[in-house]
Chain A
Amino acid sequence: MRKLFQLSLLLVVIAAACTKKESSSSESKSIDPAIAESVARGQLVYTQYCIACHMKDGLGAPPMNPPLAGTSFMKGDKDIVINVVLKGMSGEAVDGQKYHNVMPPLDFLTNEQVADVLTYVRNSFGNNESLISSEEVGAARNKK
């Protein structure tokens, strides 16, 4: 019961944080110049390789392609999203919802491109997460 209470409190806090974030654009994150620079580079990668399926607003194209905005994937373990980009994904539900299309592996992107595009996505569309570095991508890629 107490756990449930804590969980719902957490959800409320997350929801509040999310709604607050929506009004502020990614530029307001200039507090951390490293993130801001990565976001700027990542947006170019996103426009070239991701936008066709996940759309300009990051809301995807349900029921074909899942959203990136506000999903647990983006809030979760960095390695999971790094691996989704490197290895692709199919048949897996995103927040309980299944999507029809497969995501192809984008392993032809450099470690820096993967890091930038994920940092962009994790700091856009209402998402507000930490930076992913090219070293982290490199480590995940080598783990295999």
Chain B
Amino acid sequence: MPAKKLSLYAATFFIATLFFSCTDGKKTTSTSDTGLTVPEGFSAKIMADGLGKARHITVTPKGDMYVRLAEAKDGKGTLFLSESNGSFSVKAGFGDYGGTGISIKDGYLYSSSNQEVFRYKLDANFQVVDAANPEKIVTGLIDRAQHETKSLVLDNQGNIYVNIGAFSNSCQEQDRQKGSLGMQPCPILDSAGGIWMFKAAQLNQSYKEGVRYATGLRNVVGLDWNQELNQLFVMQHGRDQLHDIFPDMYTIQQSAELPAECMFAIKQGDHAGWPYTYYDPQQKKKIIAPEYGGDGKKEAGNEYIDPAVAFPAHMAPNALLFYTGDQFPAKYKNGAFIAFHGSWNRAPEPQKGYFVAFQPFVDGKPSGDWEVFADAFSGSAENTASGRADHRPCGLAQGPDGSLYVSDDVKGAIYKIEYKK
């Protein structure tokens, strides 16, 4: 009898332990009809699909959405979506140019091609007044196929910040060639590999009128203006191919895990290190790039800034959004959502990413570990490992009610993630 009682007691304890470990905070996920997994209490639904290569998105205070397409479809590179009966439908399209950047600020819609930035006046309902005649704000930016997209964000002082990605992997004499050394100094940084600042309301600016706000950033696709700190934050796409280029110094496995994909808090004049250094997430150090005399261990100097957060290598952060809404639980307030488009440069190791991550912030500083927030965009674990993802998260936007929207640039789906109290 006591033995039986004891085993019953043990079994109950075991089940209880199991139960508690399963419901332990962030680990619990619920699957919705989108196939996405999101934390307990959240739900996800598809608001639109088949839009094309949906890059960055922005939601108006009225709840409508503008979507930038990588390639214009039927002469329309930006789509205007309106919600009815719980889903989005395309109401209009305009702008015969593909691109990534889009943002709303002070009565204007800003959008970028891969060389220029335009703006469109908005009416009281945040709809474009004259879609055929935008003002050209910036022109003549470098577009050499590689890292060509021009993501943008605005501050509260009438400035617009535009990424100009480096048209190179690591500024070698011969791009991506085995053993080729880095150019010293890297001439690309004069016109690319950084964030440029322009006046948001001044026409036809180019390099001469702009300011190189921050340099040493290989390519930034995700960036946001942190309203709490009044500061620019960016996500860098780290360099590729350490093993292919320096096989004697880096193994295939090291090449898959190096360098970190970094979030940087930017101040004017900052140098984030590319191409001279990269951030090693295991050693937690800035390491001199092998193209510039590094050996995988030599540390770089303090003329380069440290990352605010280091994420696993090659996951391709394509959007950054500081959450300012009230819908989600308190821990999300002022924290950062990051859309990881997913890797290619981990092969033959399994690929990674294809999810939206969350990095908590407290008092303007990253606080605690980042976590996967919304996952399973790829469709299956096999799709993630092979890199053949069904969907790839690319853009993020916050709705007026605090919902989070995610765009996918494989099939052109728009997801809405909500929290139910």
By a beta-carbon cutoff of 8 Å, the part of chain A in contact with chain B is 47-49, 51-53, 55-57, 59, 61, 64-65, 88, 90-91, 98-106, 108
Decide if A55 touches B146 in the complex (CB within 8 Å): no
Decide if B348 touches A101 in the complex (CB within 8 Å): no
Which of A48, A61, A98, A108 neighbours the largest number of chain B CB atoms within 10 Å of its CB? A61
By a beta-carbon cutoff of 8 Å, the part of chain B in contact with chain A is 145-148, 169, 174-178, 180, 240-241, 243-244, 247, 255, 344-345, 347-348, 386-388
Decide if B344 touches A61 in the complex (CB within 8 Å): yes
Decide if B344 touches A65 in the complex (CB within 8 Å): yes
Given that A55-B344, A56-B347 are contacting pairs, would A102 and B387 also be in contact in the complex, using a CB cutoff of 8 Å?
no
Contacts of A90 in B (CB 8 A): 145, 175
Given that A49-B244, A61-B387 are contacting pairs, would A102 and B345 also be in contact in the complex, using a CB cutoff of 8 Å?
no
In the complex, which residue of chain A has the Cβ closest to the Cβ of B165? A100
Decide if B177 touches A105 in the complex (CB within 8 Å): yes
Decide if A56 touches B348 in the complex (CB within 8 Å): yes
CB distance from A69 to the nearest CB of B (A): 12
Contacts of A53 in B (CB 8 A): 344-345, 347
Decide if A98 touches B174 in the complex (CB within 8 Å): no
A61-B388 Cα distance, complex, nearest whole Å: 9
CB distance from B66 to the nearest CB of A (A): 22
Given that A56-B386, A59-B388, A108-B178 are contacting pairs, would A100 and B147 also be in contact in the complex, using a CB cutoff of 8 Å?
yes
Decide if A55 touches B347 in the complex (CB within 8 Å): yes
Given that A61-B344, A64-B344 are contacting pairs, would A100 and B146 also be in contact in the complex, using a CB cutoff of 8 Å?
yes
Interface of A is mostly: loop
Contacts of A65 in B (CB 8 A): 344
Contacts of B146 in A (CB 8 A): 100-102
Q: 8 closest A-B pairs (Cβ-Cβ)?
A: A61-B344, A104-B177, A104-B176, A100-B146, A102-B175, A51-B348, A100-B145, A52-B347
A51-B255 Cα distance, complex, nearest whole Å: 13
Contacts of B169 in A (CB 8 A): 101
A105-B148 Cα distance, complex, nearest whole Å: 23
Decide if B244 touches A98 in the complex (CB within 8 Å): no
A55-B169 Cα distance, complex, nearest whole Å: 18
Given that A56-B386, A57-B386, A61-B344 are contacting pairs, would A100 and B178 also be in contact in the complex, using a CB cutoff of 8 Å?
no
Contacts of A99 in B (CB 8 A): 145
CB distance from A78 to the nearest CB of B (A): 23
A65-B244 Cα distance, complex, nearest whole Å: 15
Which of A64, A102, A108 neighbours the largest number of chain B CB atoms within 10 Å of its CB? A102
Contacts of B174 in A (CB 8 A): 104-105
A64-B177 Cα distance, complex, nearest whole Å: 16
Which of B240, B344, B348, B387 neighbours the largest number of chain A CB atoms within 10 Å of its CB? B344
Contacts of B347 in A (CB 8 A): 51-53, 55-56
CB distance from A96 to the nearest CB of B (A): 13
A53-B146 Cα distance, complex, nearest whole Å: 14
A64-B174 Cα distance, complex, nearest whole Å: 18
Contact of B176 among A57, A91, A101 (CB under 8 A): A101
Given that A52-B241, A52-B243 are contacting pairs, would A102 and B176 also be in contact in the complex, using a CB cutoff of 8 Å?
yes
Contacts of A102 in B (CB 8 A): 146, 175-176
Contacts of B243 in A (CB 8 A): 52
A104-B180 Cα distance, complex, nearest whole Å: 10
